[in-house]
Amino acid sequence: MANSLIVSAKTLQSRDGLSMVKAEMNWDLSQLVENTEQTAIQKKLEVMVTEAERIREKYHSKIHALDAKGLLNLLETKDAYVLRFEGVEMYCRLMYSADSTSDLAKQLNDAVRRASMKVDQSLAFVDIELGGLLADKPSLVKDPVLTEYKHYLERILRRVPHMLSETEERVIITKDKNGINAWEMLQSDWLSTRTFDIQIEGKTKTLPYGEIIGLYQSPDRDLRKRANQTVYKDLGKDNIIWASAIRAVCEDHVEICTLRKYPTPMTQSLIANDVDQQTIDSLMTTIQKSVSVYQRYLKLKAKLMRLKKLANYDLVAPLPSGPEKSYAWKESRIEVVGAYRQFDEEMGSWVDEMFERRHIDGETRKGKTSGAFCSSWMAGKSAYILQSFNGRIGNVYTQAHELGHAVHAYQRSKAGQKPSNFPVGSCIAETGSIFGELLLTERLLSKAKTREEKQAILTTLLDEFGMAAFQVSARVFFEQSMYDSIKQGKFLDGETVARLWVAARDKVYGDSVDWLDVMKWEWTMKVHYYIANYRFYNYPYVFAQLFVFALYRLYKEQGKSFIPKLKTLLAAGATKSPRELASELGFDITKGTFWEKGIAQAQEFMVMLEKTL
Ligand SMILES: [Zn+2]
C-alpha cells in the first residue's frame, strides 16, 4: 500500500537500527563548500559579487576591441569564475529545495538570489558586447584559437538580432526580480506548502503535496480517485492565484517577444535549445499523427486493469494483478547501479559513486520541492539529485532517470568540457536519463519471473513514454493556445485557462479516458508553465523521448559497437547542435521518418506487452 510505504519512510527517523538508512537518503551538501558556517557562506557570496565587478571593470566597453586571443582570455576568465562560485550557489539553492520551511535555508536562498541578481547585472554586458563583437567580426567564430568555443560563439551569434542595449537588459533583470520571478516563486512556494486532508483507512491524514501525489500510484483505485479529487479540488479553489501567476508570466513573454523581435513565442526557446522550427514542427506533426498509437496503449492498459475504460487516475497506476513489490532504498540502488553496469562498467561506477558519496536526497518531507531533478556539479565533476522516494517501482525509474543525468554530467566532466559548453539544451539533456530508464527496463525484465511482473515493468515504461511523448505534447498545444488567446485579446482568468487546457488535452486523448471534472485544474500545479524567461519548457521532453527511443533501436541493431557512440554524444555537451549530433549517427531530425522510429520502438514494447496477455 502506498500509505504504509509513506509511513515506513517516516518511521525510519525514529528507529535506531535504521538511522543509517535515513542518513543514506539525505544528501551531504557540505562537499560543495569549504566551510558550512552561515557567515562563511554569506562572505563567499559577497566575494562572488565583488569578483564579478572586477571582471566588469576589466572588460566593460572593451570587448569590441578584442582579438581572438583576447576573446579566449575573456571566455576562460568567465569559465574560471563560474567554477569558483558554483559550489556556494548550489549549496544555498539545493538546501532550500530540500526544505523551504527551514529559516537558514530561506536566508541563504534569499542571499544567493540577491547575489546572483547583482552578478547578472554586473555581467550582463558580456553577452551584449560579445554579440556586438561577433556581429562586426563573424570570422572570429571560425578562428582556430577559439576552436573550443566555436559552437558557443555560433549560438551567441544567433541571439544577436534579439539583444537589447545594456541599459535595457539591466532594467529587465531588475524588474524581473519582483515581477515574473516573484510570480514563479509564489506558484512554487504556494504549492510546496499546501497540505491536503484525506481519509486513509478510516483516519484523516494531512499530507503535504509531495506526499499526497505518491497516492496517485496507489494500487487502491478508490484512494487514487480520492487523492486526485482532493488535490485538484483544493488547487482549483486557489485558481485566482495560479491564473494571476500564469497570466503575468505569459503576458510578460508576449511583450518581451515584441521588444526582442522574436517572430513567434517559441523562438526564444528554439534558440536556447539549439534547434530549429522545422525540426520541432516535424516532431509535433508526428505526434499528432500518432495519437492513435497512444490511445491503443491506453485501451490495452484498461484491459490489463480489467476496466472498460481508463479514468485519469488510472493513467499512471500500477496494474491490479501486479506483484505488490516495494523497493527499499538499498534494493533500488542495486537495480539501478546494475542496470548501468550491464551496459557499461564505467557508467555503473559513476552511478554507484553518487550513492556512496551521498549525493542523492530521497527522503520525503514537508517543504521539499515536488518532483525530482539532477544538478550538475562541474567543479566537483559530479552531480546532486533530489527525489521523494516512497519505494514504488516508479521511484526506482525516477532514480534511474536522474542518475542518467548524473552520468551525462560525469561524461562531460571526463571530456573536460568548459562551463560555457557544459549546459546542454533540454532536447539532448534527457538523453542519458531516458536511456537509463530503458536500461533499467532491460534489467528488470531479464530478472522478472512471472508475466505479471513483466506487465508491471512494461506498463511502467510505457506509462512514462505515453506521459512524456503525448501528455507532454498536450502541454505544448496548451501553451501555444495561451499565446494565441493573448494575441486575440482574451483575458486569461482561471476558467479560461482551464478550458484551454481541456481542449489541448482532448486533442491527444480523444475519448480514450474519463476525466474527473476537477482535472481541468491540472495546469495549476505544473511548475513548468510559470518558469520565468523559460517558455515552452515541454517540447524538448517530447523530442527527447522519441530521440532516445530511436537511439535505443539503434543500440539493439548495432549491439556493443553502439556504446562508444552514445558516450561520444553525451561527452559533446553543447559543442554541437542536436541536429549535428544526430547526423553523426546517421539521422536527419528534420524529417518525420526519424521521429517515427521512436514511435516504432514504443510499438515494439507494446507488442511485448500484448504477448503477455
Ligand atoms: Zn530529466
Query: What DSSP line would sit under 154-168, residue for residue?
Result: HHHHHHGGG---HHH
Measured CA to CA, the distance from residue 22 to residue 130 in angstroms comes to: 48
Greater confidence, 279 or 24? 279
Please give the grid coordinates belonging to residue 102: 527551514
Q: Please give the distance, rounded to the nearest whole angstrom, from the Cα atom of residue 401 to the centre of ligand 1.
A: 6
pLDDT over 80 at 214, yes or no? yes
> Which of these, 202, 162, 266, 279, lies nearest to 587 by C-alpha position?
279
Top pLDDT among 265 and 324 is at: 265
Round to whole Å and give the CA distance between 64 and 38: 40
Cα of 360 vs centre of ligand 1, distance in Å, is: 15
Q: How confident is the model at residue 292 (pLDDT cuts 50, 70, 90)?
A: very high
pLDDT value at position 128?
Answer: 86
Provide the 8-state DSSP code for 207.
Answer: E
d(CA 605, CA 465): 10
Cα(431) to centroid(ligand 1), Å: 8
The rounded Å distance from CA 383 to ligand 1 centre is 13
- Cα–Cα distance, 153 to 134 (Å, whole number): 8
Determine if the pTM surpasses 0.75: yes
Distance 166 CA to ligand 1 centre (A): 34
Instruction: State in Å: Cα 221 to ligand 1 middle.
Output: 28
pLDDT of residue 2: 32
DSSP state of 602: H
Task: Tell me how far the alpha carbon of residue 602 lies from the centroid of ligand 1, in angstroms.
Answer: 19
Query: Would you list the DSSP string of 86-149?
Result: HHHHHHHHHHHHH-TT-HHHHHHHHHHHHHHHHHHHHHHHHHHHHHHHHHH-GGGGG-GGGGGG
- Say what the pLDDT of residue 326 is: 85
Q: Which of 462, 435, 429 is nearest to 343 (CA)?
A: 435
Amino acid (one-letter) located at 72: L
CA 167 to centroid of ligand 1, rounded, Å = 36
How confident is the model at residue 5, as a pLDDT? 31
pLDDT digits (tens, 9 = 90+) for 113-127: 999 999 999 998 998
Query: CA 419, CA 409: separation in Å to the nearest integer?
Result: 11
Q: How far is the CA of 428 from the centre of ligand 1 (A)?
A: 10
- C-alpha of residue 42 to centroid of ligand 1, in Å: 31
Contact 220/226 with Cβ under 8 angstroms?
Answer: no
Residue 461 CA, ligand 1 centroid: distance in Å: 15
How many other CB atoms sit within 10 Å of the CB of residue 28? 13
Instruction: Express each pLDDT in 453-501 by its tens digit.
Output: 899 899 889 988 999 999 999 999 999 999 999 999 999 999 999 999 9
Burial class (CB in 10 A: 0-12, 13-18, 19+), 528: middle
pLDDT at 1 over 60: no
Q: How far is the CA of 435 from the centre of ligand 1 (A)?
A: 11
- What are the pLDDT digits (tens) for 125-171? 998 899 999 999 999 999 999 999 999 999 999 998 998 888 898 89
Distance of CA 374 from the midpoint of ligand 1 (Å): 8
Ligand 1 centroid from CA 424, angstroms: 12
- What is the Å distance from ligand 1's center to 598 Cα? 18
**Which pLDDT score is estimated for 324?**
60
What are residue 143's phi and psi, to 5 degrees? -65, 130
Ligand 1 centre and the CA of 280: distance in Å? 19
Q: Which of 285, 283, 304, 292 is nearest to 510 (CA)?
A: 292
* Ligand 1 mean position, distance from CA 202 (Å): 37
Percent of the chain whose pLDDT exceeds 90: 83
Q: Look-up: residue for cell 542536436? A: 578
Centre of ligand 1 from the C-alpha of residue 436, in Å: 10
| C-alpha of residue 33 to centroid of ligand 1, in Å | 26
pLDDT at 6 over 60: no
In degrees and rounded to multiples of 5, residue 510 shows phi and psi of 55, -130
| Separation CA 73–CA 57 (nearest Å) | 15
What is the 388 CA–ligand 1 centroid distance (Å)? 15
Q: How far is the CA of 405 from the centre of ligand 1 (A)?
A: 7
Cα–ligand 1 centroid distance for 372 (angstroms): 8
Cβ contact 454:445 at 8 Å? yes
What's the pLDDT tens digit per position in 374-418?
A: 999 999 999 999 999 999 888 999 999 999 999 999 999 999 999
Average pLDDT over residues 314-320: 85
The percent of residues above 70 in pLDDT, for the chain, comes to 96
Q: Does the pLDDT at position 13 exceed 70?
A: no
Q: What mean pLDDT comes out for the span 579-591?
A: 93
Query: What is the C-alpha to C-alpha distance for residues 323 and 325, in angstroms, rounded to an integer?
Result: 5
Grid cell for residue 63:
570587448
Q: Residue 521: which pLDDT band, with cuts at 50, 70 and 90?
A: very high
Distance from Cα 61 to the centre of ligand 1, integer Å: 39
pLDDT digits (tens, 9 = 90+) for 270-291: 999 999 999 999 999 999 999 9
Q: How confident is the model at residue 318 (pLDDT cuts 50, 70, 90)?
A: confident
What pLDDT is stored for residue 210 in this prediction? Answer: 85
Q: What is the mean pLDDT of residues 94-102?
A: 95
R_g of the chain, CA atoms, integer Å: 24
> Ligand 1 centroid vs 164 CA: distance in angstroms?
32
pLDDT of residue 12: 34
**Using CA atoms, how far apart are residues 114 and 110, in angstroms rounded to an integer?**
6
How many angstroms does the Cα of residue 525 sit away from the middle of ligand 1? 18
pLDDT at 96: 96
pLDDT of residue 116: 96
CA of 378 to the centre of ligand 1 (A): 18
Mean per-residue pLDDT over the chain, rounded: 92
H-state helical runs in 290-421: 291-304, 329-343, 345-356, 393-414
268/125 Cα distance (integer angstroms): 19
**pLDDT computed for residue 351 by the predictor:** 98
Task: Tell me, in angstroms, the distance from the centre of ligand 1 to residue 433's CA.
Answer: 6
Q: How many angstroms does the Cα of residue 426 sit away from the middle of ligand 1?
A: 9
Tell me the per-residue pLDDT of 527-566, one tens digit each, with 9 for 90 and over.
899 998 889 999 999 999 999 999 999 899 999 999 999 9
Looking at residue 323, what is its pLDDT? 58
| For residue 504, pLDDT beyond 70 | yes
Mean pLDDT of 59-68: 96
C-beta separation of 246 from 529 below 8 A? yes
Give 218-237 pLDDT, tens digit per residue.
889 999 999 999 999 999 99
CA of 398 relative to ligand 1 center, distance in Å: 9
Confidence of residue 319 (pLDDT cuts 50, 70, 90): confident
Residue 430 alpha carbon to ligand 1 centre in Å = 5
* Ligand 1 center–CA 402 separation, angstroms: 6
Bridging pattern class, strands 310-311 and 513-514: parallel
Q: How far is the CA of 294 from the centre of ligand 1 (A)?
A: 21
Q: What's the gap in Å between 418 CA and the centre of ligand 1?
A: 22
Tens digit of pLDDT for each residue in 346-372?
999 999 999 999 999 999 988 998 889
